[in-house]
Structure 1
Amino acid sequence: MTLTTAPNLQIAEHRCPDCAQPFRRITGFVHRDDAPYAVFYASCHHHDGNDVLLDAVFGTWDRDDHSDHVTFGCRIGPVPGQPGPAVQLMPAAASFDPAPLFGRRLTTDEAAGHPRLDDFRELVQHVLSTNTVIAEHLRGAPHP
């Protein structure tokens, strides 16, 4: 089974509600074997070094019913004593207002025990290995 990112990525500039610094949010759709699979939101912040807050929503995408949607969240960035960025689960969609699209927003503990955790890990790896904007941000490159 192959993951691909749809070519219509959206990149928007925002201000962090916590620190008031500008950040970029990349929104993209991921397909599995050419079928809609998940949507992700990658918020590229400058908190403790460059980090990314990534949320991914899994569910059915061919109707307006979001009752089967589940959202995972993680932070990708520097961790003391760790070479390179690390991925840490965190509460899902914490920086977003409530919206039906997110369905069930998982807590860190819920995500750690969720049957779709491996799907989320695979999606995170896919996004990190294919999205140059996120990769450059994590390497510390300034925004153009």
Structure 2
Amino acid sequence: MLQIDRGYTIQDSRCDCCGEQRRQSRGFVHKQGVGQYAVFFATCYHHQGIHEAWIDVIFDDQWGAEHLELPCDRRVTFGCRVGPVENSPLPACTLVNAAAVAPDEPLYGHKLSRNEALSHPMLKEYWEVVDHILEAEQMLRSHIYGPQP
């Protein structure tokens, strides 16, 4: 069972490419029996009137403040875009190069390319985290699917 840490944050900023407002939620995802399982960054955009989000998830089996700023070989980051796609009335998730607009910092470990992610043994776990975030994180869910009754 997955759970978003209650201390997750939401920040507003301006998009570097278009100047429009963007919102980003970020925090830990916990897994029952494991504890801190992953860190997520979910950034919501309104590019040319299109509601889309980019979700990066960083996995590490030994989260701890003592190594967040040092290189870490075991850490890996996946990325996807969530939004409209051709021939579908519903938004879809598409793998992309991970954390492409984020600086190359040790926090991200190895940023997987789309091709690397497609064959990575943790791909299933990544999609499970993305599904959970899309269901549980209200700001992201409302941005992609609209307000909930």
Q: Same fold (TM over 0.5)?
A: yes
Alpha-carbon distance, 1:67 to partner = 2.3
Name 1:61's counterpart in structure 2.
63
SS in 1 for 2:53: strand
Name 2:42's counterpart in structure 1.
42
Name 2:5's counterpart in structure 1.
6
TM-score using structure 2 length: 0.89
Name 1:103's counterpart in structure 2.
109
Checking the alignment, whether the CA contact within 8 Å between 1:69 and 1:102 is kept in structure 2 is yes
Deviates more, 1:86-95 or 1:12-21: 12-21
Name 1:25's counterpart in structure 2.
24
Checking the alignment, whether the CA contact within 8 Å between 1:50 and 1:140 is kept in structure 2 is no
| AA at the equivalent of 2:51 | N
Residue ranges of structure 2 left out of the alignment (5+ in a row): none
Percent identity, aligned pairs only?
37
CA RMSD after TM alignment: 1.3
SS in 2 for 1:115: coil
Checking the alignment, whether the CA contact within 8 Å between 1:69 and 1:103 is kept in structure 2 is yes
| AA at the equivalent of 1:7 | R
Name 1:135's counterpart in structure 2.
141
Structure 1 stretches of at least 4 aligned residues deviating more than 4 Å after TM superposition: none
Deviates more, 1:111-120 or 1:9-18: 9-18
- Number of equivalenced pairs: 140
TM-score using structure 1 length: 0.92
Alpha-carbon distance, 1:130 to partner = 0.7
SS in 2 for 1:71: strand
Alpha-carbon distance, 1:140 to partner = 4.5
